[in-house]
Chain A
């Protein structure tokens, strides 16, 4: 379970403090999932960073009684001078997992070929994302944190992500944040809307969907969101 109580996060800017999250509460049980909808800049990524433990809250508590991943497909922890394989070894060592059985999966999933043994700094953005996603899958977490905006790739990549995450790891919990209401509707059993520092809970995903599309995102931008040709991860 993850339980967030009275979580606040304030950043100090040149124009004074900015409260991104204001006394947010949240509970997620093992094997369950949650979608969080929010506009650009609503604080989705901040919430993900706090859940991941990469940043500390200004006030409030986060309790975790299951293992929580880092944000999926996040490549920021890569050491550019190390090869993809070295980065795999590093991540496995940190989590106390033997890396050897993972190599074939990573090779197969990333399709990096010889580049897996080249420094990450020579990778394209797409190669980096594939490697980052594969590493996220190499460690068996109880709960995955997914920032939809981070998992960018072609249709084939999205299909493969879908199989790994939503089929093979169906039993895991996940938190999916997105600005795209359709993505949330497709994958989540429960949804919240993050708006002006508040996390608004809804009884059903449909209620959250309607609220987001009518109240938060006015009509014109709703059309843009639904006609979005990008495949959901």
Chain B
């Protein structure tokens, strides 16, 4: 509740309110999406896991045309999990405000809270799925356990940052124009084969490498694979470049989300 004599809440109080609101939205989102039936909330992890598992099985059967010696299951798990982080997060954030417009009647709920909630849910799901698959497959000795956990974690955090910042930016943009949602679908389809999920940069001709490395997600996948396979693969990435992209998306997203509030209901 608002204190009568505090017209402008302090940063700390605002933070408390935001935490409370995002917490409430998280519970609402999870129950709404996964319900209380059968395994309920576990679908948060189960859904992306099934996707990744499907791809891993498909690629194993088809004998994906990779370099000899590349373990196909681990390759698929690292690749597809990375795609989930940026593709689904953006997908869930475009139109998020339009779908939740009534929520804004609660003055504590701001546009950015709606995005933060969906970003957290998506990244938590993708991370949980990646972690579970890695652990289970390592336990069953289908894949070798990751070589460099620190590098793997760092790569994953960078990918999550990319997914979150891109989702914030695209989600806020979708408030201004419905075109964003329409265009993201085809864009994500084109980006999937280009994102590094299904190839290693090293396999490409040298002149193509510098072009493909313009895409920030490629750096993330390479980092994750460096952590997973260690010296067994040659990776190409620039964490600084990727961080710069993420920073740009984050700033743009924050500014757009702040101004998006005055556009809500305008269209």
Contacts and interface: CB of A to CB of B under 8 A. Distances in A.
A68 B20 contact: no
Nearest to B21: A94
Interface of A is mostly: loop
A55 interface: yes
A90 to B, nearest CB: 5
Contacts of B205: none
B20 A93 contact: yes
A64 B23 CA distance: 25
Interface residues of B, number: 30
A68 B264 CA distance: 20
B35 interface: yes
A24 to B, nearest CB: 17
Contacts of B265: 49, 54-55
Contacts, number: 84
A157 interface: no
A95 interface: yes
A82 B32 contact: yes
Contacts of B264: 55-56
B267 to A, nearest CB: 8
A38 interface: no
Contacts of A30: 4
A149 interface: no
Given A63-B7, A66-B2, A77-B102, A95 B108 contact: yes
A78 B24 contact: no
B136 interface: no
B21 A76 contact: no
Contact of B102 (A56, A76, A82, A96): A76
B109 interface: yes
B266 interface: yes
Given A71-B105, A79-B28, A94-B109, A12 B4 contact: no
